[in-house]
Amino acid sequence: MTPRFPTRLVIAMLWFTPLVQAQDQSVNPGINNAYLKDDLIVTDWIERLEREGREVADNRDEIIDRAGITEGMAVADVGTGTGLFLPALSSAVGESGKIYAVDIVQKFLDHVDIQTSRLGWTNVETVLCSERAVGLPEATIDVAFICQVYHHFEYPTDSLTSIHRALRTGGRIMLVDFKRIPGESADWILNHMRAGQEVFEAEIESAGFRKAEEIGDLLTDNYFVIFEKIDR
């Protein structure tokens, strides 16, 4: 009898193993070019990322509420961008908590620093990361919040390794990203996203996480999945 393997395991074998062997090369070259231009104008991205009608912007408070982020937690907002989620995150963790606003774009972090000072977010700290690592010390965070950013990871194996290291025991990844379904999703999503939910989940699980929950009743154009760290 031919042995049968779980579908998720097969996907992990097909997708994650090559990443480990070929991590010297980006899995999606150029995906971040628009953010890395010297002439990037932050206000243009505020209008684009925080506009009314963008699903994650319209549901920002509910997303953080459903993520189970509570007072005293340390959270990395990976790919914080213009800081869309920082008001809700800062409020959720309270004065005893900590938010690390992580991004590869210094201009975004400069903008966040200005907002932090202006609004009195004493629990928010900006962190300039690299394309391969989040730039946080070992066991410093309880949650890595990754909203519409994972598909921008050019070196997902390296990035996930750094996230796994930065998470404390029992730490979680909160993943929100676009649904990529051939025949259903818009052409720009099909062209922009290198893969869909099943592949991304397999990559994350192969990096030392287990899928704990999927929240399917909040978003329409995006999926919302929670993973827990497996200590190795």
Mean pLDDT of 184-190: 95
Alpha-carbon distance values, 9 to 14, 164, 204, 225 (Å): 9, 20, 12, 18
Q: How confident is the model at residue 7 (pLDDT cuts 50, 70, 90)?
A: very low
What percent of the chain is modeled with pLDDT above 90?
89
**144 Cβ neighbours under 8 A, 6+ residues apart:** 75, 76, 78, 134, 163, 166, 167, 171, 172, 173, 174
Q: Which two tokens stand for residue 219?
A: 């978003």
Q: Each residue of 88-126: pLDDT tens digit?
A: 999 999 999 999 999 999 999 999 999 999 999 999 999
**What's the mean per-residue pLDDT of the chain?**
91
**Residue 134 phi, psi dihedral angles, 5° rounding:** -80, -15
Q: What is the pLDDT of residue 21?
A: 44
> Where is average pLDDT lowest: 22-26, 73-77, 207-211?
22-26
Q: Which two tokens stand for residue 126?
A: 């900006």
Q: What is the pLDDT of residue 23?
A: 65
> Where is average pLDDT lowest: 10-14, 85-89, 94-98?
10-14
DSSP H helices, 50-167, are 55-58, 60-66, 86-93, 106-119, 156-166
Q: What is the pLDDT of residue 19?
A: 43
Which residue pairs, CB below 8 angstroms and at least 24 apart, start in 106-110?
107/40, 107/42, 108/35, 108/42, 108/45, 108/80, 108/81, 108/82, 108/83, 109/80, 110/42
Mean pLDDT of 179-204: 96
Determine the Cα–Cα distance for residues 106 and 1; give it in Å rounded to an integer.
57
Which residue ranges form the domains of the chain, and what is each CATH number? 7-229 (3.40.50.150)
Selected residue with higher pLDDT from 21 and 28: 28
Does residue 226 contact residue 172 with C-beta atoms inside 8 Å?
Answer: yes
Q: What is the pLDDT of residue 39?
A: 96
What percent of the chain is modeled with pLDDT above 70?
90
Determine the Cα–Cα distance for residues 200 and 85; give it in Å rounded to an integer.
22
Q: Provide the edge-to-edge strand list for the sheet that holds 124-128.
A: 124-128, 98-103, 74-78, 141-147, 167-178, 222-229, 209-214
